[in-house]
Amino acid sequence: MPYAAALRRLVAAGLGGGALAWKASHSLAEEKGKGESAASFGSDVYAVYRPEGAGDGTRVLLAADYEDMIEDFRRKTCRLVILGETHGDRVAHFLEKRVFDDLASSTPKCGLSMEMFESDKQQVLNEYLRGLIPESSMLKDCRAWANYRRDYRPIVEAAKNQGLPVFAANAPGRYVGLVNRSGQEALLALGEDGRALLPPLPFRMPSEALRWKVFDFMNAQKYNSNSSQPACPAQAQAEEVNPALSRMVEAQSLWDASMAWTLAELLKAGECSKVVHLCGRFHVEHGLGIPEHLEGYLRSNHCESTLASFDRNDSSAAFRSVAKTAVFVPAEFSADGRPSIDLDALAYSADWVVLTDASKSTLL
């Protein structure tokens, strides 16, 4: 599979940010958004679950409800809520706005951070939020995603109407593309202005767990798209050392590091008592991606003031001391409301798992 096409598949699955794909010009975003309004759904199109230990060292998902989840997010010790979506999941987008609205109504200053905007567009976004430029200019200059009007406009407008900040958390697409072509060493040639838009260099390389997760995904895509035989482990091992694939995973890591750095800086500044961050669920599932990078930033001296005491021998303790995660997973439901998905396989995904009715969504 050509690696550009592979990257697009990863983005569509919610793995990568939209820096290289699923972006559109203002005209496309406007055209696709015409006549579309924010969706409204009842509780019959989603199911909330909470992972808990089973006593034998494993975890299981227990049925819960939305109020259980939002009360967990409202805790004072929870300063960051990361919501991982499958891009285009309309039920997830509805619930994301509901979470933000509920937290904003009970938190002195709740900020919204988004993968869907790149860091070099923060000034443009700020000008729009302050009413200095029209939405049409913001959409064009920010290169809004094609589904912006339908899926993200409601939550951005909610923040704008309440005078709450919206943060452009993703790395500029041109720099993600540079890493995808030449590796992160190429970023060292950037000038001071360019490097100011990125996390500290060099950023952490992808963990082995994340690398293998990407490889497994790509092998599954190859099998599903153009192969009559499943990919074998030897093939995966051969791809592990493929330079093009390694650079692609490195580009994925820049997305994660950039969003994690944005969040670390927000926690350090303390201007927002709570931050809600939207991203593709692959960026946060299983504690990989953003949580890994943010753990490192939180443990460094520049963010020490954001932390309560935590066990430094626990590899994810710093992250868990300030953050909660939820992932929205599209699923088919039977006539009696049972999801046709392996719940046990999701028990390690996040602090909260929300299954959404896939029939209500147009997944990208």
Give pLDDT tens digits for 27-72. 334 444 444 555 678 888 999 999 998 777 789 999 999 999 999 9
Mean pLDDT for the chain overall = 84
* Tens-place pLDDT, residues 259-278: 999 999 999 999 999 999 99
303 band by pLDDT with thresholds 50, 70 and 90: low
Can you tell me the distance from the alpha carbon of 288 to that of 312, in angstroms, rounded to the nearest whole number? 18
* Tens-place pLDDT, residues 120-152: 999 999 999 999 999 999 999 999 999 999 999
56 secondary structure, DSSP code: S
Amino acid at 282: F
So what's the pLDDT on residue 187?
97
For 195, the token pair is 């490097």
Can you tell me the distance from the alpha carbon of 333 to that of 335, in angstroms, rounded to the nearest whole number? 7
So what's the pLDDT on residue 336?
80
Is the per-residue pLDDT at 14 higher than 60?
A: no
So what's the pLDDT on residue 34?
44
311 band by pLDDT with thresholds 50, 70 and 90: low
Q: For residue 267, count CB atoms less than 10 angstroms from its CB and return exposed for 0-12, middle for 13-18, buried for 19 or more.
A: buried
* Tens-place pLDDT, residues 99-119: 999 999 999 899 999 999 999
Amino acid at 304: E
